[in-house]
Amino acid sequence: MGNIASIQYLRGVAALLVVYYHSLNFLKDVPRSFYFGYQGVDVFFVISGFIIAHSTVKVQGHSSFRVVFDFWVRRFIRVVPLYWIALGIEWRHELTPSFNMLCDFFFVPRWHDVEVGRVWPKLIPGWTINYEVFFYLCFGLFLTFRRGVWWIFGLFSSCVLVGLIFCQGLQGSPSFVFYTSSVLLEFLYGVLLARLYFAYGSRVVRLKVQWVVLVLVFGVGLLFADLDGPRGVVDGIPALLIVASVLCIRTSGGFSILAKLGDSSYSLYLFHGFFFLAAGRLFAFLGLTGGDVGGAFAAVFRIVFACVGGWLVFVILERPLTSAAKQVSLKLRLMSRDLTSDAGTGGARSYKNDFVASGYSVGDFDYLPGRRVF
């Protein structure tokens, strides 16, 4: 698997951190020092920026709209169907569509119904999916630009700057709060890392292990230092250091549990809340709740239960669903090719040939668990 194995392991660790953090909601009187793990989301954002930028580096600046559209379709297939299923479960008690429901399904930022001041959908982890979709949309648009990477740097940096300048002025607008958040910088960190890795990757992997470990420990220390400031800085920069150092670690497999966590990280992230509730009902049915030891044990059980459940969702739902969606997408592209073929030129080339001729390699954009992107 090469270097990508280390990124898969990191995805698993990041997902586990988020699950751990959310499990604390079921405990009482938890010391402040135990409240960490939400930073796993920041690591996810940096990884996302890195993967997307690295997998498209050959076509940036000279892409046709056809390739851009294919990028959007592949990202949609990878992210949206499973998210909509999880979101549908969360909205299952609503019989008629509402404005908030439509906002959630179409990635429109809105104030949360319960948590005051939070721009969250009903399915709380979905706020990160809204950012992912926004990043994919912008990145795809700028693929056709000659210096598209710098355009997206300019756009996201400007959004964050506007948010910092007018942070007290337009707080009544959820869209303003959402699209000017400093977490946008974390995608840029990943994009920058991809550019550096593309240029100096062969040198990076030869760095001495002492330096790699030092950067990794420094990044972890900063991440859990609970510093004050914009999240995209105080949590984003440490996340960048962690991802950069992990990229320098060559692995030959052997960490099957972390690999499975990495494979199922998306399913685990979306569905762990449902498994928390199911575990709680199981404990209540068995009469095993109550007490400090019981509460801690219940929290550990919830985490393990969610990890196993996330893996099952990945195997039973996510992987087959993504595969089926890809097959449908391929058939539609082939139909489109046949309808738009030019008889005067002997027929259009196959979509795959167009794709590869544009600079992609087989597997680009298919960053599914276990797939290479290098």
Mapping DSSP to helix (H, G, I), strand (E, B) and coil, where does residue 61 land?
A: coil
Q: What is the pLDDT of residues 237-279, one digit of tens each?
A: 999 999 999 888 776 666 678 889 999 999 999 999 999 999 9
Share of residues in the chain with pLDDT > 70 (%)? 81
Give the angle 250-78-191 at the CA atoms, nearest 5°. 50
Check residue 116 and give its pLDDT.
Answer: 84
**If pLDDT is split at 50, 70 and 90, which confidence band does 67 have?**
confident
For the chain, first and last CA: distance in Å?
9
Give the global pTM.
0.86
What type of residue sits at position 114? V
Check residue 68 and give its pLDDT.
Answer: 87
Over 60: is that where the pLDDT of 61 sits?
Answer: yes
What's the mean per-residue pLDDT of the chain? 82
Q: What is the pLDDT of residues 187-210, one digit of tens each?
A: 999 999 998 888 876 566 556 677
Give me the DSSP letters along 105-170.
Answer: HTT-----SSSTT----SSTTHHHHHHHHHHHHHHHHHTTSTTHHHHHHHHHHHHHHHHHHTTTTS
Interatomic CA distance for residues 151 and 145, integer angstroms: 8
Check residue 66 and give its pLDDT.
Answer: 81
Check residue 369 and give its pLDDT.
Answer: 34
Residue carrying the six token digits 């400031």: 229
Q: What is the pLDDT of residues 319-357, one digit of tens each?
A: 999 998 888 888 777 776 665 554 444 444 444 444 444
Over 60: is that where the pLDDT of 76 sits?
Answer: yes
